[in-house]
Amino acid sequence: MKQELIGGLVLCPIRRCALKKGVETCGSCAELMTCEKAGLILKNNEEARRNLGL
């Protein structure tokens, strides 16, 4: 997997995707509910769902 650096920080695939789509976080993405990248996290992490207001 290719790693991308911004300001010396390695970005996770979900963050890279959000930046590519021009949104601040995946929570702002219109495709969030059908997203394969975020889906596993949302399915298995109640705190993540709360943080996104789901």
Angle at 6 between CA 46 and CA 21, to 5 degrees: 60
Interacting residues of 13 by C-beta distance below 8 A, sequence separation 6+: 1, 37
Tell me the pTM. 0.61
| pLDDT tens per residue across span 8-40 | 667 788 888 888 999 988 888 999 889 988 888
Pick from 42, 44, 2: which is nearest to 25 by CA?
A: 42
**DSSP code for 18:** H
| End-to-end C-alpha distance for the chain, whole angstroms | 30
Task: Decide if pLDDT at 5 tops 70.
Answer: no
Q: How many domains does the chain fold into? A: 1
Task: Decide if pLDDT at 7 tops 70.
Answer: no
Q: What pLDDT, on a 0 to 100 scale, did the predictor assign at position 21?
A: 92
Domain housing 39:
4-51
Interval 41-54 mean pLDDT: 88
